[in-house]
Structure 1
């Protein structure tokens, strides 16, 4: 039983670290200009933390089978309190992660809009030759086939 208590405490501690990582990610995504290398490192850290958390959760499930206890641990007040802490952190992390997803979506749309604008500019620049004269294709207008 002591091992389950220790594991739940370690999970709660890791969730606090994950919360700090998501806060850093949010700060980076909220900046006018995204620091891509730092965002990449932050994302890698988040992925490592989530992987560790998943491993810990598998250990928890194994210990539950061994001990016959099951979350939310209603028969043990200490474990139940630890589990509530984990659930509260998880809910907060879910909300923060959703906000970060929205921020990331905004950046992706802005980048897509910028690429579209550049593509349009490139097609417009074909109307002129390198000397700045109207190209023959632009003078003839669009081609139609009958």
Structure 2
């Protein structure tokens, strides 16, 4: 049973790291100007943590079966049961945090779509640049004079 407790403790540690990652992701998404490079790194870190968690959980299932520990919440085993309850509570909190981060991300995407829509509308009303990269039509600032 000791090995199974160690595996579950490792899962709890990964979930605690994931909690810090989600807090950082929320901080980045709550900023007025999102640092996309940093957000990408945080997202990659989150994906790595989730992959590791999936691997460790698979190992937990194998060990639980091999040691005949039964299924979660492992009530006959007090230490293991306590760790499992902590895992369950933290997982529920992480789910809520991830949902909120998804809402923040959706808000940023909506804002970006609105900006692109305005630019697209302006582009179709008046071509801004030609194929050579030079401005087309008259200057938006008025007539140009050469001296």
TM-score (structure 1 length as normaliser):
0.86
* Cα offset, 1:74, TM superposition: 1.1
* Cα offset, 1:131, TM superposition: 3.1
* Cα offset, 1:130, TM superposition: 1.2
Runs of 4+ in 1 over 3 A off after TM superposition: none
* Inter-partner Cα distance in structure 1 for 2:126 and 2:85: 61
Q: Which protein is richer in helix relative to its size?
A: 1
* Inter-partner Cα distance in structure 2 for 1:76 and 1:131: 79
| 1:37 alignment counterpart | 37
| 1:74 alignment counterpart | 75
Whether 1:130 aligns to 2:140 is no
| 1:137 alignment counterpart | none
* Cα offset, 1:124, TM superposition: 1.5
* Inter-partner Cα distance in structure 1 for 2:138 and 2:103: 45
* Cα offset, 1:50, TM superposition: 0.3
* Cα offset, 1:123, TM superposition: 1.2
Unaligned runs of 5+ in 2: 128-135, 140-147
| 1:101 alignment counterpart | 102
- Once the two structures are superposed, residues 109-139 of structure 1 have per-residue CA deviations (whole angstroms, 9 ceiling, x without a partner) of 001111110000111114xx6136xxxxxxx
* Inter-partner Cα distance in structure 2 for 1:107 and 1:61: 39
Unaligned runs of 5+ in 1: 133-146
